[in-house]
Structure 1
Amino acid sequence: MLVKTYAAAVQGISAISVSIEVNTSKGIQFFLVGLADAAVRESHERIISALQVCGYKIPRNRIVINMAPADIRKEGSAYDLPLSIGILAATEQVDAARLDQYVLMGELSLDGSLKPVRGVLPIALQAKADGFKGFILPLQNAKEAAIVQGLEVYGVENLLDVILFFDGKKPLTPMTVDTQKEFYGKQQAFEMDFSEVKGQENVKRALEVAASGGHNLIMVGPPGSGKSMMAKRLPSILPPFTLEESLETTKIHSVAGKINGNSSLMPQRPFRSPHHTISDVAMVGGGAYPQPGEISLAHNGVLFLDELPEFNRSVLEVMRQPLEDRMINVSRARFTVDYPAGFMLVASMNPCPCGYYNHPERPCFCSSGAVQKYMNRISGPLLDRIDIQIEIVPVPFDKISERQPSENSQAIRERVIRARHIQEQRFADHPGIYCNAQMTTKLLHQYAVPDAKGLERLKNAMERLSLSARAYDRILKVSRTIADLEGEHDIQASHLAEAINYRNLDRESWGM
């Protein structure tokens, strides 16, 4: 008897429907075809054990299973459930009447219980698009898939529940999720707040400007000056997720297996902080079985690189293209996948090997050549993509000992949201541009034109401070953001002056 069950294969952050055709005839052989990897082929032993525990068995027949389309690689153990149900239906141990209405995914334990799988959100979206009535999957994944409206999502704990459901002996209760409550109810729940940061008003201002325009930022300062502390609080002042941004980011984390069973949509922007020993592939994504890397997991959020010069040079260089294109393309001989990479880069570093160059109190024992060599670990093309470069000095004792809290994140965030709203209106007719940091040269000449006084100040600053030519566009973008924060239509000389102060590392005198 020939029957079909339905599953899905994840490619990139999207899914492709897979039909599993099971045919039985006389004989005792078992064939599994359709470009299945080792984990899928090993399902045979898991299915035999699970069926025995549930009181069923694989008959002594010739079983041929085809996973179509056959030119798409099927990976992982998530096909255990549709394979087992297909075998039972083909041997008339399960009613096959409703199999064409449901997508099935789930890994089987030897006792028949179902274990969670990856990528259920893109699979649920594809199931809805293909017109399926429901999606049956492990209970731990049900909440994540249930955010897709118009699709019945059933979370089950073991194989026997699925068998009884198709036989009409046990109904299943669909999982329901209040998307509005899940999403909007947790957007303000931050563990860290800028009110805990003492002093460093100039750095907090730089972070506010960076958040307002989506600018990349690097902080340079001695150990213990608060670089990491402030970077970790940056998500608390970023504008809240839109539903579309949250859905896109959640899909990436779902494919990577980063969604826990107690959550559905991600309510807050991601903050990723990989260790400096990370490899190229782990940073950008890929591998033998491609998975999203750290830059894709930081999509619509923040990628924080602490102690930037300690990262491998090749790791830093592979970020140059994603910073510009906001997309990662992973190419293999048989396929190509694209991962979004629209992240905000925030980095921190010591100013020299000993960490105390330009320190107001402690001496630096590094030679000028050592300082310059340390800085040269970061290439010019990468620095070219960092709009704001800010120096940090240690907080004096009278500031540390203050009991009065600083301005909280909510107050800063409100100003950031107002500035972003101005940018959304400005770029409404330019698809793919959402903030000032994404402006092209054409848009820069249209929306970031300084007046004669400002242009003269910019010229004098570039000559006096020996700023590089690459700093010109960055200064204009940042000054446009500062003007938006002030609610000004035109860029004024004061806005340019502040933006110029954020180009410390472009000075030729640095490290000399």
Structure 2
Amino acid sequence: MALARAWSVALFGVDGVPVEIEADVGVGTVRTQLLGLPDAALHESKDRVKAAVRNSNHSWPTQRVTLGLSPATLPKGGSSYDLALACVVLAAAQAVPAERLPGTVLIGELALDGRVRSVRGVLPALMAARRAGLERAIVPAACLPEASLVEGLALHGAATLSDVIGWLNGDDASLVGPPAQGTQPPAAPPGPDLSDVVGQPEARWALEVAAAGGHHVLLTGPPGSGKTMLAERLVSLLPPLSADEAIGVTAIHSVAGLLTPETPLVATPPFVSLHAATSTAALVGGGTGLAKPGAVSRAHRGVLFIDEACEFGARNLDSLRTCLEDGEVRIARRDGIARYPARFQLVLATNPCPCAPPKDIDCICVPTAKRRYQVKLSGPLLDRVDLRVIMRPLTAMMAAEVSEPEPTAVVRARVLKARTRARDRWAAHGWRTNAEVPGPALRREFRLPRQATTVLDRALALGALTGRGADRCLRVAWTLADLAETDQPTADHVAAALEFRERRRP
């Protein structure tokens, strides 16, 4: 009887759990048994691994093979365990030495001919392996650019199972080393410029405020007034991701299978645009077994744009409410709870009514149809949107254009300066933007003078504003103060923030 051990990683969301894989080769009925709550894809790995071993010029043991994946009560799925299963069986059968397996995590899917195929989630898996104290990692050669983002591990890439077997036999040259790290990530291609948007001074100003403070925006206006153009240009106003933010965003994109060897690191804020046919599972995440990341997680630290928002189902839109508050999504499924970060800026765009004429006087919608259309944006959802802007019709927009619109570079410079002021102010508390500051902190530690908040007190007394709305007005007021380069908001800043929230309907 022989026993060998190796390591792999099970992913739950972007959190990884090291899995110890044991192989016992001994007497008994010739069969291969896999224990440890494997799903269908993992259960099929027995046949894939057998074929890969045979086609790599090695023999599968002609004895009873028992494979155990521990923790045994943890559901496990996917094909990323193939490489570890093959190596641990060969080591237990004494076909290869087992001295190098302890402390080594092996990740990769095996083709029937022994090729090591790339898998999703390599980055978060290696981060979990590093936290668990594992020293080395062997991953598919195609995943080396992504894997090299994790420091503190001796990293190797394998193209075939034979390469890994050669390494286990002591041939270090059989595996590929990590690529040389560049000093800077590749520059993102220039996006569309803000100067392309003609007119719309109120909407342009709201976009600048949103970028400076990380606030959510609702754009309401007739078709062709520039709602989509403005939303697409918001990303260009945002600062590049910090090192920690880039790793967090890249981990999500790795689990979603969106990374490529050419761009292994997501260094710029992502932009995700949705169509009205998007399901709730595609929006917030879902799937059988353990949930996969949805659009809200793919937009983490970036912009989520929902065009024609009133065409979406009310249930889909209301599913955004929790992640807008918490900055993460928690999805419960049969196999456990997956947690995905989802701190994004939401941009909603909608027409004022179903017929959406260029001018309001041409609207043919009956009041009930108009109300049924607008009620898709529920009160609780709108209460979480800081800036609500009504877009001008095309005719008025063209007539109002008297000067050259500001390009993205000019506006972005003001945004970066305001973001720097906010970051320095909140650094001791761990907040990056004004939109992340909790309401209690704004009302206690950073309480404004009574004369500055009189207009909010009046709105609360009249029932025109909720407590959440008051907190969001204070956050916008701090952003307006940062753009004006003042130490704290004045009464005018608070009044301007409240005016943004009152622009709900055209």
Query: In 2 relative to 1, CA 20–405 (structure 1 residues): closer, same or farther, beyond 3 Å?
Result: farther
Work out which of the residue numbers 72, 95, 103 in structure 1 matches 2:97: 95
The residue number in structure 2 matching 1:117 is 119
The residue number in structure 2 matching 1:21 is 22
Unaligned runs of 5+ in 1: none
Quote how far apart the aligned CAs of 1:458 are.
6.1
The residue number in structure 2 matching 1:279 is 279
1-structure distance, mates of 2:3, 2:75 = 23
2-structure distance, mates of 1:491, 1:173 = 57
SS of equivalent residue, structure 1 residue 233 = helix
Query: In 2 relative to 1, CA 476–6 (structure 1 residues): closer, same or farther, beyond 3 Å?
Result: closer
The residue number in structure 1 matching 2:501 is 503
Residue 217 of structure 2 is aligned to residue 214 of structure 1: no
Residues 152-208 of structure 1 show CA distances to partners (whole Å, capped at 9, x for unaligned) of 2222221111111211245123113426422xx42x533322233232232111101
Residue 176 of structure 2 is aligned to residue 178 of structure 1: no
2-structure distance, mates of 1:334, 1:408 = 50
2-structure distance, mates of 1:440, 1:170 = 53
Residues 285-317 of structure 1 show CA distances to partners (whole Å, capped at 9, x for unaligned) of 233222122212222111111111111111111
2-structure distance, mates of 1:176, 1:404 = 50
Residues 6-51 of structure 1 show CA distances to partners (whole Å, capped at 9, x for unaligned) of 1111112111111111111134121111111111111122122222
1-structure distance, mates of 2:293, 2:332 = 13
Query: In 2 relative to 1, CA 252–400 (structure 1 residues): closer, same or farther, beyond 3 Å?
Result: farther
The residue number in structure 2 matching 1:424 is 423
Quote how far apart the aligned CAs of 1:321 are.
1.4
2-structure distance, mates of 1:402, 1:66 = 71
Residue 370 of structure 2 is aligned to residue 354 of structure 1: no
2-structure distance, mates of 1:318, 1:330 = 11
1-structure distance, mates of 2:447, 2:365 = 40
Quote how far apart the aligned CAs of 1:414 are.
1.9
The residue number in structure 1 matching 2:343 is 342
Quote how far apart the aligned CAs of 1:89 are.
1.6
The residue number in structure 1 matching 2:83 is 81
342-351 vs 404-413, which deviates more? 404-413
Give 1:314's aligned amino acid: R
Residues 361-388 of structure 1 show CA distances to partners (whole Å, capped at 9, x for unaligned) of x722223333222211211010000010
191-200 vs 65-74, which deviates more? 191-200
The residue number in structure 2 matching 1:132 is 134
Give 2:4's aligned amino acid: V
108-117 vs 258-267, which deviates more? 258-267
Quote how far apart the aligned CAs of 1:236 are.
0.8
The residue number in structure 1 matching 2:53 is 51
TM-score with structure 2 setting the length: 0.91
226-235 vs 273-282, which deviates more? 273-282
Query: In 2 relative to 1, CA 438–128 (structure 1 residues): closer, same or farther, beyond 3 Å?
Result: closer
* Alpha-carbon contact 1:448-1:477 (below 8 Å) kept: no
2-structure distance, mates of 1:78, 1:239 = 35
Q: How does 1:316-335 map to 2 (within 5 A)?
A: 316-332=317-333, 335=336
Give 2:327's aligned amino acid: R
* Alpha-carbon contact 1:219-1:227 (below 8 Å) kept: yes
The residue number in structure 2 matching 1:389 is 388
381-390 vs 401-410, which deviates more? 401-410
* Alpha-carbon contact 1:448-1:480 (below 8 Å) kept: no
Quote how far apart the aligned CAs of 1:463 are.
10
The residue number in structure 1 matching 2:368 is 369
2-structure distance, mates of 1:329, 1:458 = 34
Q: How does 1:405-484 map to 2 (within 5 A)?
A: 406-431=405-430, 433-446=431-444, 447=446, 449=448, 452=451, 455=453, 467-469=464-466, 471-484=469-482
Work out which of the residue numbers 103, 107, 110 in structure 1 matches 2:109: 107
270-279 vs 74-83, which deviates more? 270-279
Quote how far apart the aligned CAs of 1:467 are.
4.6
1-structure distance, mates of 2:357, 2:154 = 60
Query: In 2 relative to 1, CA 170–428 (structure 1 residues): closer, same or farther, beyond 3 Å?
Result: closer
Query: In 2 relative to 1, CA 405–2 (structure 1 residues): closer, same or farther, beyond 3 Å?
Result: farther
Residue 487 of structure 2 is aligned to residue 489 of structure 1: yes
2-structure distance, mates of 1:401, 1:496 = 27
Count of paired positions: 500
Quote how far apart the aligned CAs of 1:441 are.
2.9
* Alpha-carbon contact 1:119-1:251 (below 8 Å) kept: yes
1-structure distance, mates of 2:77, 2:252 = 17
2-structure distance, mates of 1:405, 1:142 = 47
Unaligned runs of 5+ in 2: none
Residue 300 of structure 2 is aligned to residue 299 of structure 1: yes
Query: In 2 relative to 1, CA 353–218 (structure 1 residues): closer, same or farther, beyond 3 Å?
Result: same
* Alpha-carbon contact 2:199-2:401 (below 8 Å) kept: no
* Alpha-carbon contact 2:56-2:162 (below 8 Å) kept: yes
Report the aligned-residue RMSD: 2.7
2-structure distance, mates of 1:130, 1:503 = 47
2-structure distance, mates of 1:274, 1:440 = 29
TM-score with structure 1 setting the length: 0.90
The residue number in structure 1 matching 2:74 is 72
2-structure distance, mates of 1:216, 1:285 = 21
2-structure distance, mates of 1:226, 1:438 = 28
Q: Give the share of equivalent positions with the same residue, in percent.
A: 37
Query: In 2 relative to 1, CA 400–42 (structure 1 residues): closer, same or farther, beyond 3 Å?
Result: farther
2-structure distance, mates of 1:412, 1:177 = 36
Quote how far apart the aligned CAs of 1:448 are.
6.1
* Alpha-carbon contact 2:75-2:335 (below 8 Å) kept: no
Give 2:120's aligned amino acid: R
Give 1:194's aligned amino acid: L
1-structure distance, mates of 2:140, 2:7 = 15
Query: In 2 relative to 1, CA 209–403 (structure 1 residues): closer, same or farther, beyond 3 Å?
Result: closer
Give 1:331's aligned amino acid: A
1-structure distance, mates of 2:474, 2:76 = 49
156-165 vs 422-431, which deviates more? 422-431
